[in-house]
Amino acid sequence: MNAQRPLNRFGVEPLAVLTRRLADVAGGRAEPDLVIAGARVLSVYSERILPEREVWIAGGRIAAVKAAGTHQGGAARYDARGGLLAPGLVDPHLHIESSMVTACAYAEAALLNGTTTIVCDSHEIGNVLDAQGIAWMLEDARAAPLNIYLTVPSTVPATSPALETAGGDLTPDKIAALFDAWPEAIGLGEKMDFVAVADGDPRAHAIIRAALERGRPVSGHIYGRDFVAPYAASGVTDTHEAVDRDIADDLLEAGLWIYLRGGPPTTPWHSLPKAIGTITDYGAAWKRACLCTDDRDADDLLEFGLDWVVREAVRMGIPKAAAWAMGSLHPATRYGLDGEVGGFGGGRRADLVLLDDDLVPRSTWYGGELVVEERRVTPRLEAALSRPYRYPAPATATVRLPDPLPALVPPLPAGPCTVNAIRTVLPGIELSHERVALAPGPDWAATLAAHGLCHVAVVERHGLRGSVAHGLLSAFGLRRGAVASSVGHDSHNLVVAGLDEADMRVALAAIEARQGGVCVVADGRVVAMVPLPVAGLLSDKRVGAVAAEMRTLKAAWAEAGCGIPYMGFNLIPLSVIPQIRLTDRGLVLVPEMRLVPLFEPA
Amino acid sequence: MNAQRPLNRFGVEPLAVLTRRLADVAGGRAEPDLVIAGARVLSVYSERILPEREVWIAGGRIAAVKAAGTHQGGAARYDARGGLLAPGLVDPHLHIESSMVTACAYAEAALLNGTTTIVCDSHEIGNVLDAQGIAWMLEDARAAPLNIYLTVPSTVPATSPALETAGGDLTPDKIAALFDAWPEAIGLGEKMDFVAVADGDPRAHAIIRAALERGRPVSGHIYGRDFVAPYAASGVTDTHEAVDRDIADDLLEAGLWIYLRGGPPTTPWHSLPKAIGTITDYGAAWKRACLCTDDRDADDLLEFGLDWVVREAVRMGIPKAAAWAMGSLHPATRYGLDGEVGGFGGGRRADLVLLDDDLVPRSTWYGGELVVEERRVTPRLEAALSRPYRYPAPATATVRLPDPLPALVPPLPAGPCTVNAIRTVLPGIELSHERVALAPGPDWAATLAAHGLCHVAVVERHGLRGSVAHGLLSAFGLRRGAVASSVGHDSHNLVVAGLDEADMRVALAAIEARQGGVCVVADGRVVAMVPLPVAGLLSDKRVGAVAAEMRTLKAAWAEAGCGIPYMGFNLIPLSVIPQIRLTDRGLVLVPEMRLVPLFEPA
């Protein structure tokens, strides 16, 4: 194979210009570049395991799958030693930003997991940098050793300027322009404002219209069986948020492709086990079911990849070949990519995985190039990973704090009052609204201790409004210092919690200095930090380094006593999830969507 | 519903502009136009029969499928009386011209059979009238009360100008222009020159490239397991020509969608029973299997529609809901139309069929309008059928014979010689090459009788070359007079067979007078005729009238003694099927693709 060929999506020429060469190879008139021999083949088309096959590859594409021993020429051979060859996985819905790495860095983890194609929804960077941020991430994606397609973020900002200050505002026109500029924009991203969609909100429907008029499908995000019918009638044709078998069943019958989401079993993202009941309990056909990952911490990426989700589906009763198809051919078919990826048909990209019999990936070929061998990155991939896309300077200068920084804690009330506190609750997604009767002590330290409270502030960081809002967390459990993050969904203002303002300021200063990050501070110094210089969301390091930093951070986070994981902490400003949230504009009651003061008369 | 709305594909507005209204209806804020109540629903998504449902329709689209009794408003109701509601069928591959009717006329039969969407490959009219003919047929299709999509004819002419004279020559550029001009051109039509494709022929691959570069899939037509790999590697992703379970299995594994073709059981087109063995015998999943009709005589259209093919699949062991899905959702998915047709998902066109429990269609709604009720055309459809598209004058003036007409029979040889005769063999597709030792009698009549021969001539009719070629049929069985046809695949020159030249001339004169047709002549007069004035291929009458004419013609055809059906007769010039063919250029040996003389020295 050609070492000069770039190891990215464009390193393999389009099928349109390769058909004659592939026909020549398949017809025996020309030599393949590579024959992978000695394997069985997992067929995602017929959902069978085919014995004794060999795969002929030319120009980075599948020329043919033949009976073992057919090829007699001098082409390069790879002996698969009885393993099981399967098409590379296709993840139909995920957010690269959740893993706090760039697209180029994400690719390494994906390939190690046997995933060769992903469809990402880059709405976090869109919230920070608007359409320009999405364009930069697409440049990153084009440089990555992975097939990366985009569903254009559909719900930026998540709410309205009255409730929070975002860096992005993706209007219908901007979304249309993204579709027109980027052919890899194959669909509209999850339309998260499902209530607005179901209610017929004009902007939400104008955005959907921009996609449908271009023949692009619309992805969904929905809770609640009552919303299914109006949401489906609005043109949404997939969802990854089916939390149980009943709503999964409703969604399937409403014409949506269902993406069964697997996540670390300790997280609430692991909805697969319940949702799969539409198949395993209710007997629905699985042809319109896919598997996806959605969100992964960097340190979970390797352990809980899409391959792991496939194995979970098998554990829940889906036959092996069908489960693998749900993670490859089905997502490819859903997006009209099944002529390009997702199976071993003639002319498809030679994105292959060699599996053991438990469906654990051992080796991966990307565009016919061996990139992972026996679970190790090959020199070819190593070289590509050492030359990642570099985001331009404006993408790494996005944390613009008010100067001078206003107070991060409110004045201590003069007398008894009621606090609209935010009670953190495991697993950390929902937040309870707790009305605390506050009897102020001599200072904040004594008052916090007496009531089991902790300061929290959200600081606008887009250089737009300079706003800071104060709140109080209940049951958060922080024992000392402060924790802070520049990942504050979805507008990504800074969130900082702490027992004293000095440590809170240290945390913000650390984030400002690195132009993004998550950190734990104690006694005036940073104990642990994951710097996130790209848009305040992404590290510029390799995935292994970020995973290591993340493990250290998580240990410090737990050590500090934080009662919810940092992922939950990042959701404190996400004013679309019940019951109470803190944005840079103040405390938001959800679903009423109105602001309330922190302190009220007793 | 709105009687002013045109009853064609454009009578229902695009989903993109209807989402708000549909959300309002599904959410209960607005009334549906129609509620079809009291039915079970055949779900093609989950492959189950759902009890007690009602379907809410608005703007000609599905607003929601709800539990029975949900709707309480004053909307129009249709009581389905316990029947089974299913989505209208989607036929992924057929040739309207085979039925010798216009697209508008075809629609009537389709709707009676519960078919509401078809993908046609109009390569016959392309062979006569080039790209202009295809454009006219697309205008016809746009006016028809049916969703008609096109796969752009890919193999016009079937061979080369050296071997036959065609009216059309669809170059890669013309094919590209058709894709760019007609959004309903959703794929490339069956690439029939599969040997050329497999061999890497430049023009064949340039045509495939034109489709692939536009993101359009390529349909196939292939015989022979050895060709599967190079053909699939050339970018072909479906076929309807799997003749048995082994090649069907090969094609499925090579990444092709397999269209299982059902036809009248007495014809060789009925390949479904053998090909379906890939599923029923070999255990392949059926998610990439579709059903199709391909070709139907007008009189077979009603009896052997796609609904009949579905029932055949059930008879062969496919569960009912899955078989219906193979005839609706699967073809829609294959062409990326599953957001528009093929199921009852929210927002889809309200194209529905009410079935009895044996899957026999009773009533059909097209875009929410009742067009067939209890197997009868409704007044609404009747009105639409009474105003069909009229082809422009040049489309009905295509039979341009040489003037004066040359001799239709060759001079009687002066002495013994060898004849390269065409021996007709049932079922009429293949033709044997028979070398007959000819001992000439006193005249042709005596000579033919003594040797069991019959004259055959092919007369160029595009006004291009004025060529006439002579042949002799063996075992054809004609007892008197002549038979002739302006449907002579694929170049559609006139074919005439007869025992004396006078009757042969009468037959050609009749066809010229009507500018197309098939006829039987005896004793100097036309005994039966189906006039085909549009391109010499299509009647301008309703389908029932054409079917009646066809039945009369077939009776006369059999009465005349013809040993192969007229469909086989029409294939006499099709110089891509073994062993010997007669075109306007002469006798062609297949697969050598060379001309041989009629008479050779003994």
Residue A151 and residue A219 in contact, taking contact as beta carbons nearer than 8 Å: yes
pLDDT more than 90, % of chain A: 93
On whether the CB atoms of residues B567 and B518 are closer than 8 A, the answer is: no
Tens-place pLDDT, residues A299-343: 999 999 999 999 999 999 999 999 999 999 999 999 999 999 999
The predicted structure's pLDDT at residue B304: 97
Share of chain B above pLDDT 90, in %: 93
Q: Is B283 exposed, middle or buried (0-12, 13-18, 19+ CB in 10 A)?
A: exposed
Mutation pick from A212, A253, A334 vs chain B, by most beta carbons of B within 10 Å, is A253
Say yes or no for a CB contact (<8 Å) between B347 and A233: yes
Provide the pLDDT for residue A3: 53
DSSP code at position A462? B
pLDDT digits 0-9 by tens, B408-437: 999 999 999 999 999 998 888 889 999 999
Cα of B549 vs its chain's centroid, Å = 19
Residue B1: pLDDT band with limits 50, 70, 90: very low
**What pLDDT does A539 receive?**
98
Token digits for A597? Answer: 């003061």
Q: Looking at residue B407, what is its pLDDT?
A: 97
* Contacting residues of A for B231, CB less than 8 Å apart: 23, 346
What average pLDDT does range A264-280 have in this prediction?
A: 93
Contact B23 A197 (CB under 8 A): yes
Average pLDDT over residues B116-121: 98
- The rounded distance, in Å, linking the Cα atoms of B142 and B182 is 11
Place of tokens 């927002």: B347
pLDDT value for A1: 45
Using CB atoms within 10 A of its CB, is residue B525 exposed (0-12), middle (13-18) or buried (19+)? exposed
- Asked if residue B2 has pLDDT above 90, the reply is no
CA dist A220 and A239 (Å) reads 5
* Residue of B45, B47, B213 with shortest CB distance to A255: B45
Report the pLDDT averaged over residues A5-24: 97
Nearest residue to B12 (alpha-carbon basis) of B56, B73, B71, B60: B60
B20/A322 CB distance under 8 A: no
pLDDT at A2 over 90: no
- DSSP class of residue A256? P
| Interface contacts A/B by beta carbons within 8 Å | 221
Read off the pLDDT of residues B172-183 as tens digits, 9 standing for 90 and up: 999 999 999 999
Which pLDDT value is given to residue B3?
A: 53
Q: Model confidence over A118-134: pLDDT tens digits? A: 999 999 999 999 999 99
Does the distance separating the beta carbons of A24 and B200 come in below 8 Å? yes
For residue B15, give the nearest of A197, A235, A253 by CB distance: A235
Using a 10 angstrom Cβ sphere, with 0-12 exposed, 13-18 middle and 19 or more buried, the burial of residue B452 is middle
Provide the 3-class DSSP secondary structure of residue B55. Answer: strand
Q: Which of B43, B45, B154, B205 best tests the A interface by mutation, with the highest count of A CBs <10 A?
A: B45
- The overall average pLDDT reported for chain B is 96
In angstroms, the separation between the Cα of residue B7 and the nearest Cα of chain A is: 22
pTM confidence score: 0.96
Distance of CA B239 to the CA centre of its chain: 14
The percent of residues above 70 in pLDDT, for chain B, comes to 100
With 90 as the cut, is the pLDDT of residue B94 above it? yes
Give the pLDDT score at B487. 96
Q: Which residue of chain A has the CA closest to B338? A: A255
CA atoms of B175 and B131, how far apart (whole Å): 8
Best mutation site among A20, A70, A191 for testing chain B: the one with the most B CBs within 10 Å?
A: A20
Note the pLDDT tens digit of each residue in B126-157.
Answer: 999 999 999 999 999 999 999 999 999 999 99
Q: Under a CB-based contact definition with an 8 Å cutoff, are residues A560 and A522 in contact?
A: yes
Average pLDDT rounded to a whole number, residues A218-241: 96
Find, among B225, B150, B240, B149, the residue nearest to B192 by Cα.
B240
**Which range among A71-75, A498-502, B224-228, B300-304 shows the weakest confidence by mean pLDDT?**
A71-75
Which DSSP category does A400 fall into? B
Beta strand ranges found along B382-466 (DSSP E)? 417-424, 431-438, 453-459
Q: What is the ipTM of this complex?
A: 0.95
- Angle of helix B172-181 versus helix B202-213 axis, rounded to 10: 20
- Phi/psi for B372 (5° steps) reads -135, 130
Given phi > 0 = left and psi -120 to 50 = alpha, else beta, which region is B313? alpha
Cβ distance B213 to A255 less than 8 Å, yes or no, reads: no
Chain A hits for B345, Cβ within 8 Å:
232, 237, 254-256
Cα dihedral B455, B461, B466, B467 in deg (nearest 10): -40
pLDDT of residue A556: 96
The mean pLDDT value for A33-53 works out to: 97
**Residue B563's pLDDT band (cuts 50, 70, 90):** confident
Structure tokens at B145: 């009360």
Distance, in Å, from the CA atom of A385 to the CA atom of A101, rounded to the nearest integer, reads 13
pLDDT of residue B578: 87
Contacts of B202 in chain A (CB under 8 A): 20
What is the per-residue pLDDT across B252-305, written as a single tens digit (0 to 9) for each? 999 999 999 999 998 888 999 999 999 999 999 999 999 999 999 999 999 999
Q: Which tokens is A540 given?
A: 């510029």
What pLDDT does B433 receive?
A: 96
Q: How close is the nearest chain A Cα to the Cα of B551, in Å? A: 42
**Mean residue pLDDT across chain A:** 96
